[in-house]
A and B are shown apart, each in its own frame.
Chain A
Amino acid sequence: MTIRIRDLAMTYPAAGAPAVRDVSLTIPDGAFYTLLGPSGCGKTTTLRCVAGLERPDAGEIAIGDETVFSSSDGVWVAPHDRNIGMVFQSYAIWPHMSVLENVAFPLRYRRPRPSRAETRERAMAALVLVRLDGFADRPAPNLSGGQQQRLALARALVAEPRVLLLDEPLSNLDAKLREEMRLELREMVRRLRVTTLFVTHEQIEALTMSDIVAVMKDGVIVQEGVPADIYGRPTQAFVADFIGKTNLLPGRVMARAGDGGLASIATPVGLLQCRLDGAFGVGDAVTLAVRPEHIALSAGAGEAGGPNAVAGEVAAVIYLGNLIECTVTVGTHLLRVQLHPSTPVARGARVQLALPIEHCLAMRH
């Protein structure tokens, strides 16, 4: 079911600054929508407002055709009446219940309440879904971290909720398990076609799992789009920097052609060319972003040749296994470059860097 949020605003009583302001978004039916951002950006608050665990100050939230919150109409639906499945960061598995009792719990509050036999049947089906059917009668605390996580998912899905909320569900798992669960979770949600709102601060989770990603900062959504656009076409320095590694160069527009044409930007590493849309004029301050994996490095000193070529000296080389990351001093500025591990490069070497025009993205600060 569609989730629609309009002009959501909320300030915690103890805090001065608003946790969320003017957040508006629409999650299409069956989509996997991710709120991504650093801690304190308001992503969890937004999710908790949808859940009904926080009461916003203003705005409107609708799930399907039902408005669950509206400040102007005074609508408020209590969380237990919203029919939402939710997986918590701590999993929130009740330690005094068995695995089966945990899963069956939401069914006890469905109206009409299913019979005992049906409750058991549906709970077992949910456990089968997450491959925990062999653990039904175990005390819940005896499960491992990954199993608890799957149990939490089964409990969130058992009552066939209208939407699913995931609050950093993978953050408590170790790295390897997290990678497995990422795929598993995504596959399961896709199969069930349940509308999902996912909150994370891990860009890799956002990029690999989502249909749509919204990047949040200081309580507002700064960019929304499909993962490839968020990574490849960031519109703000913050997004470029937060998602993946990137080199940010402060600059000023020196000369420009028409809309979408080439422009010259003065930067600390020299004059660089990039494509610029009509919003910028000569003299405007811009930030150029270039991802380290897009910069080409070639050995040798001498004057730079070709468009966007600069000369520098290798300041540090870090071997990362699948690639080499090196820092190159160009003038007074440091540029990060990622290279194939077989590339011969040594500290102190004079090198040439090429910054491809199509990968130099100009954006406002």
Chain B
Amino acid sequence: MLAIAAVACLCVVVLIATILWLSFTDGTPGDPQLGYTVAHYVDVLTDHFTWRVLGNTLVFLAVTLVVAFALALPIAWLVERTDFPGKPLVFTLMTVALLIPGFAVALGWLFLLHPRIGLVNQAVMAVFGLERAPFDISTIFGMGVVEGLSLTPITFIMIAVALRSMDPALEEAAAMSGARPLQAVLRVTLRVLSPALVAAAIYVAAICFAAFDVPAILGLTNRIFTFSTYVFRALTPTEGAPEYGGVATLGVIMLAIAALMSWGYRTVQRRAPRYAVVTGKAYRPRIAPLGRAKAPAVGFVAGYFLVSQALPLVMLAWASALPFLQTPSARAFASLSLGNFRSIPSELLMRIIGNTAILMVAVPTLTMIASFAMSWVVLRAKTRGAALVDFLAFLPVTVPPIVFSVAALLLALFVLRAVVPLYGTIWLLVIVYAVARLSYGTRMTNTALIQIHRELEEAAQMSGAGTAGVLRAVLLPLLAPTILYAWIWIALLSYRELTLPVVLATGANLPFSMLVWSYVQSSSYGRASAAALIMLTLMVPVLLLYWLAARRAGLIAPR
């Protein structure tokens, strides 16, 4: 156990150390004459464009947060505190929406609102005889709205959990003091929840800051960058060779900003310990009757799902069946075909499915083994250095995926090349995916391990079982539901992952998401849609498995 935890820690440390080291190097890494310099930092920080990108990113963050909270807050309140019908369905749809790849949704929005090919623009221009497209999704504002729509589910879940763990007696006391329901919500509920809401906002902002899918699909071709797409562009310049030191420097800056955010998150969360965790106490909140407001409420929630998820996916299906994108018409319907699907070489498709399958099995397995070992060391083994392991397990969530992939690329290309030829193999992806998911994995195993009373293990020890016996006979059987649940969740995340392979994947180790990406890059939107559609379809059985595992682990309990 100690050895596994140590290897996992080493991976985290080496990845971060590599990018730090390279940001101070001068010239091509691997060159024996490598010098050290701070010139990259000076260059990047005095570059006007860096600051513009940073400004863009801030606007992107703000729009995303406003959209996500404006939608998630009312929906969470409706589901948790009113007699809104079909609550389990809302939770199911939110979870599914959490897993639908951002690039698929972004692609759908491109087909709707792109200034040149967007169907809404085409239709409006034809009807009103306009010269210019009225909408443009490829702007910072457009990207923010799309990102906000796709981050609504995670925001919703965080707020719903906070609402659920809040003692409803606080609201009832307000009611008994004469406050009307709306006053109680504004004066008590929101105030009490404010630490949890701030924590959620910082958390969502951190995800948004690291987001790659949406800004890449919508903004890269127009040279509208957020920080993560800017790092990507610096690594893959349209002309010339990349300046690796400069890329590493951008990565370090991004890492620093992300670290600041996660420090803020932790601080706020620690100051609100009562609301940060689900107490496990079964509170029975007051359920406000919606009365005549029920129909508009249902319309609002249904509208969210239709506009944010269904509409873009329908567009994807429409585009996948057409040789080129066009508004619905007799001619368009006549040209519907499976041509795009057929044009994807089946040999390529099989290889990609094979790669993706390896990722979906190997990544969660590796992550869960490492996570369990780390949690055990932190919570059970009386070892010095447990705090360090805890910190290193938390670190990956701080690191934006694009920084991880850049670090792994530099590491594989310049440090490990001579020792282990990982570059270009699927195993590089497996390791990086697994390290990136360590925080999630350890959070799950930590929570589960804390809930297992220590005396259950001690009783096994007193019965004569050694460490291996305690693990096999007591801990693993008790943790099995959680481990299985987290395993499938990580498998699903690995399936939809785009940011890590976009930097690391080459011809041989392409996963599915990269097929869609490469078609988008070559503007083959029909084929990109077809590939995305195949990908979504193949995801369905795994989603069902996830659902079963989550029910068994008792992790889905919508009232």
A105 CB → nearest B CB, Å = 5
* B473 contact from A53, A85, A105, A165, Cβ within 8 A: A105
**Closest Cβ neighbor of A86 among chain B residues:** B462
List the A side residues contacting B473 at CB < 8 Å.
94, 105
Q: Which residues of the partner chain A approach B460 to less than 8 Å between Cβ atoms?
A: 94, 105
Judge if A308 is at the interface, Cβ distance under 8 Å: no
Interface-forming stretch among B27-35, B287-295, B404-412, B464-472? B464-472
Q: Do the beta carbons of A109 and B456 come within 8 Å of each other?
A: no
Contact between A90 and B455 (Cβ–Cβ < 8 Å)? yes
A225 interfacial by beta-carbon distance below 8 Å: no
A88 proximal to B (CB < 8 A): yes
Please pick, from A80, A89, A95, the residue contacting B461 in the complex, using a CB distance under 8 A. A80
Query: How far is B477's CA from A88's CA once the two chains are assembled, in angstroms?
Result: 21
Q: A80-B466, A105-B463, A159-B464 are in contact. Are A92 and B478 (CB under 8 A)?
A: no
B455 near A96 with CB under 8 A, answer no
B446-485: contact bitstring with A at CB < 8 Å (1 yes, 0 no)?
0000000101101111111110010001100110000000
Please give the number of chain B residues whose Cβ is less than 8 angstroms from any Cβ of chain A in the complex: 17
Contact assessment for A92 and B459 in the assembled complex, using a CB-CB cutoff below 8 Å: yes
Measured in the bound complex, the distance between the Cα atoms of B458 and A81 in whole Å is 13
Residue of A nearest to B464 (CB): A109
Residue of A nearest to B453 (CB): A90
* Measured CA separation A152–B463 after assembly (Å): 11
Contact of B459 among A86, A109, A159 (CB under 8 A): A86
**A residues in contact with B461, CB < 8 Å:** 52-53, 78-80
**CB of B555, distance to nearest CB on chain A (Å):** 18
- Is A84 engaged at the interface, CB distance under 8 Å to the other chain? yes
CB interface residues, A 146-161, toward B, < 8 Å: 152, 155-156, 159
Closest beta carbon of chain A to B484's beta carbon, Å: 14
Nearest chain A residue, comparing its CB with the CB of B477: A96
Which listed residue (A96, A109, A159) contacts B469, Cβ 8 A? A109
Closest A residue to B461 by beta carbon equals: A79
Q: Is the pair A94, B459 in contact by a Cβ cutoff of 8 Å?
A: yes
> Per-residue CB proximity of A306-340 to B under 8 Å, as 1/0?
00000000000000000000000000000000000
Is B463 within 8 A of A88, CB to CB? no
Number of A-B contacts (CB under 8 A): 68
Q: Residue A51 at the B interface, CB < 8 A? A: yes
**Chain A positions 91 through 106: 1 when the CB is less than 8 Å from some CB of chain B, otherwise 0:** 1101110000000011
Chain A residue with minimal CB distance to B456?
A92
CB pair B465 A80 closer than 8 Å: yes
Establish whether residues B474 and A94, one from each chain, have CB atoms under 8 Å apart when the complex forms.
yes
Q: Do the beta carbons of B455 and A88 come within 8 Å of each other?
A: yes
| Cα of A108 to Cα of B465 in the assembled complex, Å | 9
Q: Are B459 and A83 in contact (CB under 8 A)?
A: no
A80 and B459 contact, Cβ closer than 8 Å, known pairs A90-B453, A92-B453, A94-B474: no
Closest Cβ–Cβ distance, residue B375 to chain A (whole Å):
19
Q: Which of A250-295 contact B (CB under 8 A)?
A: none
Q: How far does the alpha carbon of A86 sit from the alpha carbon of B466 in the complex, in Å?
A: 16
Check A53/B458 contact, CB under 8 A, given A90-B453, A109-B463: yes
A92→B455 CA distance, assembly (Å): 5
* Contact of B464 with A94 in the complex, beta carbons under 8 Å: no
Evaluate contact between B463 and A89: CB separation under 8 angstroms: no
A95 to B464, CA, bound (A): 19
Residues of A near B456 (CB, < 8 A) are 92, 94
Considering the complex, give the chain B residue whose CB is closest to the CB of A88: B455
Chain B residues contacting A96 (CB-CB under 8 Å) are: 477-478
A26 CB to nearest B CB, Å = 22
A365 within 8 A of B: no
Given contacts A53-B461, A80-B464, 8 further A-B contacts (CB under 8 A): A53-B462, A85-B462, A86-B459, A92-B455, A94-B456, A94-B478, A108-B463, A108-B464
Minimum-distance CB pairs A-B, first 7: A109-B464, A106-B463, A92-B459, A92-B455, A88-B455, A86-B462, A79-B461
A-B contact pairs, 24 of them (CB 8 A): A51-B462, A52-B461, A53-B458, A53-B462, A78-B466, A79-B458, A81-B464, A86-B462, A88-B455, A89-B455, A90-B453, A90-B455, A92-B453, A92-B455, A92-B456, A94-B456, A94-B459, A96-B477, A96-B478, A105-B460, A105-B463, A108-B463, A109-B463, A152-B459
Query: A residues engaging B (CB < 8 A)?
Result: 51-53, 78-86, 88-92, 94-96, 105-106, 108-110, 152, 155-156, 159, 165
